[in-house]
Amino acid sequence: MDLEIWKDKRVLVTGHTGFKGAWLTCTLEALGAKVSGFSLPPQLAPNLYSDAKIFKFLEGEILGDIRNYKLVEKVFKQFQPDYVFHLAAQSLVIESYIKPLETISTNILGSANIIDVALRSGQVSGLLNITTDKVYENNQSGKFHTETDPLGGDDIYSASKASSELITRAMKVAVAKGGFHLHSARAGNVIGGGDWSVNRLIPDAIRAIQSKKSLVIRNSLATRPWQHVLDCLNGYILIAENALTPTPKPLNLAYNFGPPESLSVMEVLTLLQKELGLKLEIQEEIPQYPEKSSLNIDATLSREDLGWKARMTSEESVLNTAKWYKSFLDGKDANYLVTEEINSFLSGGK
Protein backbone atom coordinates (compact mmCIF):
# COMPACT_ATOMS: atom_id res chain seq x y z
CA MET A 1 0.00 0.00 0.00
CA ASP A 2 1.23 3.49 -0.91
CA LEU A 3 0.78 6.25 1.69
CA GLU A 4 1.56 8.99 -0.84
CA ILE A 5 -1.30 7.89 -3.10
CA TRP A 6 -3.86 7.98 -0.29
CA LYS A 7 -2.87 11.21 1.45
CA ASP A 8 -5.96 13.48 1.52
CA LYS A 9 -7.79 11.45 -1.13
CA ARG A 10 -11.57 11.63 -0.71
CA VAL A 11 -12.89 8.06 -0.53
CA LEU A 12 -16.49 6.88 -0.25
CA VAL A 13 -17.14 3.49 1.37
CA THR A 14 -20.66 2.16 0.94
CA GLY A 15 -21.54 -0.40 3.59
CA HIS A 16 -19.18 1.18 6.12
CA THR A 17 -21.38 0.03 9.01
CA GLY A 18 -20.80 -3.62 8.09
CA PHE A 19 -17.94 -5.87 9.19
CA LYS A 20 -15.67 -5.48 6.16
CA GLY A 21 -16.70 -1.87 5.62
CA ALA A 22 -15.70 -0.96 9.17
CA TRP A 23 -12.26 -2.54 8.78
CA LEU A 24 -11.80 -0.85 5.38
CA THR A 25 -12.79 2.55 6.76
CA CYS A 26 -10.19 2.30 9.53
CA THR A 27 -7.49 1.06 7.14
CA LEU A 28 -8.04 3.87 4.63
CA GLU A 29 -7.97 6.47 7.40
CA ALA A 30 -4.69 5.00 8.64
CA LEU A 31 -3.32 5.40 5.10
CA GLY A 32 -4.17 9.10 5.16
CA ALA A 33 -7.42 9.13 3.17
CA LYS A 34 -10.44 11.27 4.00
CA VAL A 35 -13.18 8.65 4.28
CA SER A 36 -16.94 9.15 4.08
CA GLY A 37 -19.56 6.45 4.54
CA PHE A 38 -22.97 5.60 3.09
CA SER A 39 -24.90 2.67 4.50
CA LEU A 40 -27.93 1.49 6.37
CA PRO A 41 -27.60 1.80 10.14
CA PRO A 42 -26.08 -1.27 11.84
CA GLN A 43 -28.59 -4.12 11.75
CA LEU A 44 -27.25 -6.10 14.72
CA ALA A 45 -26.16 -5.57 18.29
CA PRO A 46 -23.32 -5.90 19.03
CA ASN A 47 -21.61 -4.65 15.88
CA LEU A 48 -18.10 -3.49 15.03
CA TYR A 49 -19.28 -0.08 13.79
CA SER A 50 -20.51 0.80 17.27
CA ASP A 51 -17.96 -1.15 19.31
CA ALA A 52 -14.95 0.32 17.47
CA LYS A 53 -16.52 3.81 17.17
CA ILE A 54 -16.07 3.87 13.40
CA PHE A 55 -17.60 7.36 13.22
CA LYS A 56 -14.32 8.68 14.64
CA PHE A 57 -12.54 7.63 11.43
CA LEU A 58 -15.00 9.39 9.11
CA GLU A 59 -15.08 12.83 7.51
CA GLY A 60 -18.83 12.36 7.20
CA GLU A 61 -21.57 9.79 6.74
CA ILE A 62 -25.11 9.43 5.48
CA LEU A 63 -27.24 6.55 6.70
CA GLY A 64 -29.69 5.38 4.07
CA ASP A 65 -30.61 2.89 1.36
CA ILE A 66 -28.57 2.47 -1.83
CA ARG A 67 -31.81 1.67 -3.68
CA ASN A 68 -32.84 5.34 -3.28
CA TYR A 69 -31.36 6.95 -6.41
CA LYS A 70 -31.97 10.53 -5.28
CA LEU A 71 -30.21 9.82 -1.99
CA VAL A 72 -27.27 8.25 -3.83
CA GLU A 73 -26.99 11.45 -5.90
CA LYS A 74 -27.00 13.50 -2.68
CA VAL A 75 -24.22 11.36 -1.21
CA PHE A 76 -21.93 11.91 -4.21
CA LYS A 77 -22.70 15.62 -4.39
CA GLN A 78 -21.97 16.08 -0.68
CA PHE A 79 -18.79 13.99 -0.39
CA GLN A 80 -17.26 14.50 -3.88
CA PRO A 81 -15.25 11.23 -3.73
CA ASP A 82 -12.10 10.57 -5.74
CA TYR A 83 -12.69 6.81 -5.43
CA VAL A 84 -15.54 4.52 -4.34
CA PHE A 85 -15.43 1.14 -2.59
CA HIS A 86 -18.90 -0.38 -2.98
CA LEU A 87 -19.54 -2.91 -0.21
CA ALA A 88 -23.18 -2.16 0.69
CA ALA A 89 -25.19 -5.34 0.11
CA GLN A 90 -27.39 -8.03 1.54
CA SER A 91 -24.47 -10.36 2.15
CA LEU A 92 -25.88 -13.49 3.81
CA VAL A 93 -26.79 -16.63 1.87
CA ILE A 94 -29.48 -17.88 4.27
CA GLU A 95 -30.99 -14.40 4.58
CA SER A 96 -31.39 -14.40 0.81
CA TYR A 97 -33.71 -17.41 1.05
CA ILE A 98 -35.83 -15.57 3.61
CA LYS A 99 -35.82 -12.17 1.85
CA PRO A 100 -35.23 -12.90 -1.84
CA LEU A 101 -36.68 -9.69 -3.30
CA GLU A 102 -34.81 -7.48 -0.84
CA THR A 103 -31.59 -9.30 -1.70
CA ILE A 104 -32.20 -8.94 -5.44
CA SER A 105 -33.14 -5.26 -5.32
CA THR A 106 -30.29 -4.30 -3.00
CA ASN A 107 -27.53 -6.24 -4.71
CA ILE A 108 -28.56 -5.52 -8.29
CA LEU A 109 -30.53 -2.25 -8.41
CA GLY A 110 -28.62 -0.72 -5.50
CA SER A 111 -25.28 -1.54 -7.10
CA ALA A 112 -26.45 -0.16 -10.44
CA ASN A 113 -27.43 3.09 -8.70
CA ILE A 114 -24.00 3.48 -7.13
CA ILE A 115 -22.14 2.72 -10.37
CA ASP A 116 -24.38 4.96 -12.48
CA VAL A 117 -24.05 8.00 -10.22
CA ALA A 118 -20.29 7.46 -9.92
CA LEU A 119 -19.99 7.40 -13.72
CA ARG A 120 -22.09 10.55 -14.07
CA SER A 121 -20.41 12.48 -11.27
CA GLY A 122 -17.43 13.61 -13.33
CA GLN A 123 -14.90 13.60 -10.49
CA VAL A 124 -14.65 9.92 -9.49
CA SER A 125 -11.50 8.17 -10.78
CA GLY A 126 -12.84 4.68 -10.24
CA LEU A 127 -15.09 2.27 -8.39
CA LEU A 128 -14.55 -1.22 -7.02
CA ASN A 129 -17.65 -3.39 -6.75
CA ILE A 130 -17.09 -5.93 -3.96
CA THR A 131 -18.88 -9.19 -4.73
CA THR A 132 -18.04 -12.72 -3.56
CA ASP A 133 -16.36 -16.00 -4.44
CA LYS A 134 -19.88 -17.43 -4.69
CA VAL A 135 -20.54 -15.73 -8.04
CA TYR A 136 -19.14 -18.73 -9.92
CA GLU A 137 -21.23 -21.55 -11.35
CA ASN A 138 -20.18 -24.20 -8.84
CA ASN A 139 -20.80 -27.80 -9.91
CA GLN A 140 -18.84 -29.18 -6.93
CA SER A 141 -16.04 -30.50 -9.14
CA GLY A 142 -13.47 -29.21 -6.67
CA LYS A 143 -11.74 -27.05 -9.27
CA PHE A 144 -10.24 -23.69 -8.32
CA HIS A 145 -12.32 -21.03 -10.05
CA THR A 146 -10.52 -18.44 -12.18
CA GLU A 147 -11.87 -15.06 -13.25
CA THR A 148 -12.84 -16.35 -16.69
CA ASP A 149 -15.08 -19.15 -15.37
CA PRO A 150 -18.86 -18.89 -15.98
CA LEU A 151 -20.85 -16.93 -13.41
CA GLY A 152 -23.93 -18.47 -11.84
CA GLY A 153 -25.55 -19.19 -8.51
CA ASP A 154 -28.15 -21.62 -7.21
CA ASP A 155 -29.14 -19.40 -4.28
CA ILE A 156 -30.52 -15.86 -4.44
CA TYR A 157 -27.46 -14.26 -2.84
CA SER A 158 -25.02 -15.85 -5.29
CA ALA A 159 -27.26 -15.14 -8.28
CA SER A 160 -27.75 -11.51 -7.25
CA LYS A 161 -24.00 -10.98 -6.87
CA ALA A 162 -23.31 -12.67 -10.21
CA SER A 163 -25.91 -10.34 -11.76
CA SER A 164 -24.16 -7.39 -10.14
CA GLU A 165 -20.95 -8.53 -11.84
CA LEU A 166 -22.71 -8.64 -15.22
CA ILE A 167 -24.07 -5.11 -14.65
CA THR A 168 -20.56 -3.94 -13.75
CA ARG A 169 -19.14 -5.39 -16.95
CA ALA A 170 -21.93 -3.96 -19.11
CA MET A 171 -21.60 -0.47 -17.63
CA LYS A 172 -17.83 -0.59 -18.10
CA VAL A 173 -18.22 -1.52 -21.77
CA ALA A 174 -21.30 0.52 -22.68
CA VAL A 175 -21.25 3.55 -20.38
CA ALA A 176 -17.85 4.21 -18.80
CA LYS A 177 -15.74 6.85 -20.50
CA GLY A 178 -11.99 6.62 -20.93
CA GLY A 179 -10.14 7.10 -17.68
CA PHE A 180 -12.84 5.68 -15.39
CA HIS A 181 -11.56 2.55 -13.65
CA LEU A 182 -14.43 0.14 -12.95
CA HIS A 183 -13.61 -3.27 -11.46
CA SER A 184 -15.01 -6.00 -9.22
CA ALA A 185 -13.38 -8.12 -6.52
CA ARG A 186 -14.28 -11.66 -5.47
CA ALA A 187 -12.99 -12.72 -2.06
CA GLY A 188 -13.06 -16.05 -0.26
CA ASN A 189 -14.71 -16.50 3.14
CA VAL A 190 -13.51 -13.41 5.02
CA ILE A 191 -13.00 -13.64 8.78
CA GLY A 192 -11.63 -11.36 11.47
CA GLY A 193 -12.47 -9.74 14.75
CA GLY A 194 -15.75 -7.94 15.20
CA ASP A 195 -17.95 -9.91 12.81
CA TRP A 196 -21.28 -10.60 14.54
CA SER A 197 -23.28 -11.72 11.49
CA VAL A 198 -25.87 -14.45 12.03
CA ASN A 199 -25.32 -17.88 10.44
CA ARG A 200 -21.57 -17.33 10.03
CA LEU A 201 -19.40 -19.95 11.67
CA ILE A 202 -17.05 -17.98 13.91
CA PRO A 203 -19.59 -15.35 15.08
CA ASP A 204 -22.03 -18.19 15.86
CA ALA A 205 -19.30 -19.96 17.85
CA ILE A 206 -18.51 -16.82 19.87
CA ARG A 207 -22.21 -16.32 20.62
CA ALA A 208 -22.43 -19.95 21.77
CA ILE A 209 -19.52 -19.31 24.13
CA GLN A 210 -21.11 -16.14 25.51
CA SER A 211 -24.50 -17.78 26.03
CA LYS A 212 -22.98 -21.07 27.25
CA LYS A 213 -25.10 -22.97 24.74
CA SER A 214 -24.22 -25.60 22.17
CA LEU A 215 -23.12 -24.52 18.70
CA VAL A 216 -25.37 -25.72 15.89
CA ILE A 217 -23.58 -26.26 12.58
CA ARG A 218 -24.88 -27.29 9.18
CA ASN A 219 -22.07 -29.26 7.54
CA SER A 220 -18.91 -30.14 9.45
CA LEU A 221 -17.13 -31.31 6.28
CA ALA A 222 -17.88 -28.25 4.12
CA THR A 223 -14.68 -26.51 3.01
CA ARG A 224 -14.06 -22.83 2.31
CA PRO A 225 -11.03 -20.61 1.49
CA TRP A 226 -10.95 -18.79 4.84
CA GLN A 227 -8.92 -15.58 4.75
CA HIS A 228 -8.29 -12.69 7.11
CA VAL A 229 -10.12 -9.44 6.44
CA LEU A 230 -6.91 -7.40 6.16
CA ASP A 231 -5.54 -9.71 3.49
CA CYS A 232 -8.54 -9.25 1.23
CA LEU A 233 -8.74 -5.48 1.93
CA ASN A 234 -5.11 -5.25 0.88
CA GLY A 235 -6.17 -6.58 -2.52
CA TYR A 236 -9.04 -4.12 -2.81
CA ILE A 237 -6.73 -1.22 -2.00
CA LEU A 238 -4.14 -2.31 -4.57
CA ILE A 239 -6.81 -2.15 -7.29
CA ALA A 240 -7.82 1.34 -6.15
CA GLU A 241 -4.22 2.55 -5.98
CA ASN A 242 -3.76 1.73 -9.65
CA ALA A 243 -6.74 3.95 -10.51
CA LEU A 244 -5.38 6.83 -8.43
CA THR A 245 -1.77 6.70 -9.63
CA PRO A 246 -0.77 9.23 -12.33
CA THR A 247 0.11 6.39 -14.73
CA PRO A 248 -2.40 3.55 -14.19
CA LYS A 249 -1.84 0.28 -16.00
CA PRO A 250 -4.59 -1.76 -17.70
CA LEU A 251 -6.19 -4.21 -15.29
CA ASN A 252 -8.60 -7.10 -15.60
CA LEU A 253 -12.28 -6.42 -14.97
CA ALA A 254 -12.41 -8.79 -11.97
CA TYR A 255 -9.95 -10.27 -9.47
CA ASN A 256 -10.06 -13.19 -7.04
CA PHE A 257 -8.59 -12.86 -3.55
CA GLY A 258 -8.13 -15.95 -1.44
CA PRO A 259 -5.56 -18.30 0.08
CA PRO A 260 -4.24 -21.31 -1.86
CA GLU A 261 -5.75 -23.74 0.68
CA SER A 262 -9.15 -24.40 2.24
CA LEU A 263 -10.25 -25.64 5.65
CA SER A 264 -13.32 -27.59 6.67
CA VAL A 265 -15.83 -26.29 9.19
CA MET A 266 -14.60 -28.78 11.78
CA GLU A 267 -10.96 -27.84 11.17
CA VAL A 268 -11.83 -24.20 11.82
CA LEU A 269 -13.67 -25.07 15.02
CA THR A 270 -10.75 -27.21 16.23
CA LEU A 271 -8.35 -24.30 15.74
CA LEU A 272 -10.77 -21.87 17.35
CA GLN A 273 -11.24 -24.01 20.46
CA LYS A 274 -7.51 -24.57 20.81
CA GLU A 275 -6.71 -20.85 20.68
CA LEU A 276 -9.55 -19.92 23.05
CA GLY A 277 -8.61 -22.70 25.45
CA LEU A 278 -12.09 -24.19 25.75
CA LYS A 279 -14.31 -26.89 24.32
CA LEU A 280 -17.55 -26.17 22.51
CA GLU A 281 -20.53 -28.49 22.55
CA ILE A 282 -21.28 -28.95 18.85
CA GLN A 283 -24.50 -30.20 17.29
CA GLU A 284 -24.79 -30.89 13.58
CA GLU A 285 -28.24 -30.54 12.05
CA ILE A 286 -29.59 -31.14 8.57
CA PRO A 287 -29.48 -27.72 6.88
CA GLN A 288 -32.81 -26.09 6.16
CA TYR A 289 -31.46 -24.49 3.00
CA PRO A 290 -29.05 -26.02 0.46
CA GLU A 291 -25.42 -24.85 0.46
CA LYS A 292 -22.42 -25.92 -1.58
CA SER A 293 -20.12 -28.31 0.28
CA SER A 294 -16.90 -27.03 -1.31
CA LEU A 295 -15.63 -23.82 -2.84
CA ASN A 296 -12.18 -22.91 -4.15
CA ILE A 297 -10.83 -19.86 -5.97
CA ASP A 298 -7.57 -19.23 -7.81
CA ALA A 299 -5.85 -15.90 -7.02
CA THR A 300 -3.03 -16.28 -9.57
CA LEU A 301 -4.18 -13.27 -11.59
CA SER A 302 -4.10 -11.03 -8.51
CA ARG A 303 -0.54 -12.10 -7.81
CA GLU A 304 0.55 -11.53 -11.41
CA ASP A 305 -1.20 -8.18 -12.04
CA LEU A 306 -1.23 -6.61 -8.57
CA GLY A 307 1.62 -8.28 -6.72
CA TRP A 308 -0.95 -9.39 -4.13
CA LYS A 309 -0.36 -12.36 -1.86
CA ALA A 310 -2.14 -13.46 1.30
CA ARG A 311 0.18 -12.87 4.26
CA MET A 312 -1.74 -15.34 6.39
CA THR A 313 -2.61 -18.94 5.69
CA SER A 314 -6.16 -20.03 6.42
CA GLU A 315 -4.96 -21.53 9.70
CA GLU A 316 -3.18 -18.33 10.71
CA SER A 317 -6.28 -16.32 9.80
CA VAL A 318 -8.45 -18.43 12.13
CA LEU A 319 -5.94 -18.20 14.99
CA ASN A 320 -5.57 -14.45 14.50
CA THR A 321 -9.35 -14.04 14.57
CA ALA A 322 -9.67 -16.18 17.69
CA LYS A 323 -7.07 -14.02 19.48
CA TRP A 324 -9.07 -10.89 18.61
CA TYR A 325 -12.29 -12.28 20.08
CA LYS A 326 -10.46 -13.61 23.13
CA SER A 327 -9.06 -10.14 23.83
CA PHE A 328 -12.45 -8.54 23.22
CA LEU A 329 -14.24 -10.97 25.55
CA ASP A 330 -11.55 -10.26 28.15
CA GLY A 331 -12.54 -6.60 28.07
CA LYS A 332 -10.14 -5.05 25.54
CA ASP A 333 -11.55 -2.06 23.64
CA ALA A 334 -12.60 -2.88 20.05
CA ASN A 335 -11.26 0.43 18.74
CA TYR A 336 -7.85 -0.35 20.20
CA LEU A 337 -7.86 -3.93 18.86
CA VAL A 338 -8.77 -2.82 15.32
CA THR A 339 -6.29 0.05 15.10
CA GLU A 340 -3.47 -1.99 16.65
CA GLU A 341 -3.99 -4.81 14.15
CA ILE A 342 -4.18 -2.44 11.19
CA ASN A 343 -1.04 -0.59 12.22
CA SER A 344 0.80 -3.89 12.60
CA PHE A 345 -0.36 -5.02 9.16
CA LEU A 346 0.62 -1.73 7.49
CA SER A 347 4.07 -1.94 9.03
CA GLY A 348 4.60 -5.38 7.50
CA GLY A 349 3.34 -7.71 10.23
CA LYS A 350 0.41 -10.11 10.29
- Starting at the earlier edge strand, list the strands of the sheet with 60-63: 60-63, 34-39, 10-14, 83-86, 126-130, 181-187, 254-257
Given a contact cutoff of 8 angstroms between Cβ atoms, the answer to whether 168 and 114 are in contact is no
pLDDT tens digits for 40-92? 999 888 999 999 999 999 999 999 999 999 999 999 999 999 999 999 999 88
- 163 or 288, greater pLDDT: 163
Indicate the domain borders of the chain.
Answer: 3-346
Helix axes 111-121, 156-174, angle to 10 degrees: 20
- The CATH code for residues 3-346 is 3.40.50.720
Give the model's confidence band at 28: pLDDT under 50 very low, under 70 low, under 90 confident, else very high.
Answer: very high
Q: What is the pLDDT of residues 169-221, one digit of tens each?
A: 999 988 877 789 999 999 989 999 999 999 999 999 999 999 999 999 989 99
- Write down the mean pLDDT value for the chain: 94
What pLDDT was estimated at residue 21?
A: 98
18 phi, psi to nearest 5 deg: -85, 175
Query: What confidence tens digit (pLDDT) does each residue in 238-248 have?
Result: 999 999 999 99
Between 122 and 85, whose confidence is greater? 85
pLDDT score for 173: 87
Burial of residue 191 (number of CB atoms within 10 Å: 0-12, 13-18, 19+): buried
User: Where residue 294 falls among pLDDT bands split at 50, 70, 90?
Assistant: confident
Q: Which residue has the higher pLDDT, 27 or 45?
A: 27
Contact yes or no for 239/289 (Cβ under 8 A): no
Please report which confidence band the pLDDT of residue 293 belongs to, taking 50, 70 and 90 as the band edges: confident
Q: Which helix (H) or strand (E) holds 181?
A: strand 181-187
Decide which of 349 and 317 is more confident: 317
Pairwise pLDDT comparison (322 vs 218), residue with the higher score? 322
What pLDDT is stored for residue 210 in this prediction? Answer: 92
pLDDT at 154: 87
What pLDDT is recorded for position 179?
80
Lowest mean pLDDT among 3-7, 96-100, 304-308: 3-7
- Residue 149, number of CB atoms within 10 A of its CB: 16
Q: Is the confidence at residue 237, as pLDDT, over 90?
A: yes
What does the pLDDT read at residue 140? 81
Determine how β-strand 223-224 pairs with β-strand 263-264.
Answer: antiparallel
Query: With 80 as the cut, is the pLDDT of residue 124 above it?
Result: yes
Rounded CA separation 260/283 (Å)? 29
| Rounded Cα distance, 217 and 202, in Å | 11
For 253-281, the pLDDT digits (tens) are 999 999 999 999 999 999 999 999 999 99
